[in-house]
Each structure stands twice: as structure tokens, then as C-alpha cells.
Amino acid sequence: DTAVSQTPKYLVTQMGNDKSIKCEQNLGHDTMYWYKQDSKKFLKIMFSYNNKELIINETVPNRFSPKSPDKAHLNLHINSLELGDSAVYFCASSTGTARFFGPGTRLTVL
């Protein structure tokens, strides 16, 4: 059974477009996250939600808007995509300290 799932796995789009990435976890965790991993493999937190409430917003441009319809889902919507948004985006969940990561979404902006 998949613990943390993301769709799509790959996303190729033009500059200026709007796109969404979906994430679901079936672990019963209260906290979910979005991370961005750049080309140098540096993994940086973007957002954290606890029970559908935003806890962390790490100086991310407001073109990025997370939405948590319920405790098991945390989606990421990105407006007006820019070249610098190209990266791998990981969703994760936790019940305490250890994170459980999804498989990632590779976003390429042309």
C-alpha cells in the first residue's frame, strides 16, 4: 500500500502557465509538508500543515498556494510558472519527528 502518493510524477509546462500537484497520505498523520529539491539535491521546506492549518510558510513566493481539503490531502498550486520553479517537489507527512516522503514530482518549466 502506498503511504504518501503524489500526482503527477512528471510535469512539463511553459512559462506563465498555472499547474497543480496533488498529494495524499494514508498513514493517518496529522502533519503534511511540501519540500522543494533543487538540481544540487538540496531539500528545503516550503510549507507545513497540521490538521489542515498552515504552520510553516518558508519565504515562498505567493505564486505558490497550498491547499489542504482534509487531513489526508495537501495540494500545491503554482501560478505564473517561472524557469526557476523547475525542481523536484516532494510531499511528506509525519506524526512526530520522522518524515515519510512521497515519490516526488519533477517539474520542468520551459
Closest CA to 63 of 90, 82, 44: 82
Scanning the structure block, which residue is given the C-alpha cell 544540487?
A: 40
Q: Which is nearer to another protein, 80 or 94 (CB)?
A: 94
Q: Which of 50, 57, 65, 108 binds another protein (CB under 8 A)?
A: 50
Residue 41 touching another protein (CB under 8 A): yes
Scanning the structure block, which residue is given the C-alpha cell 489542515?
A: 52
Binding part of the chain for another protein, among 18-26, 61-69, 73-81, 99-107 by CB under 8 A, reads: 99-107
Q: What is the DSSP string of 36-68?
A: EE-TT--EEEEEEEETTEEEEE-S--TTEEEEE
Which residues are near another protein by CB under 8 A? 4, 31, 33, 40-45, 48, 50, 55-56, 90, 92, 96-104
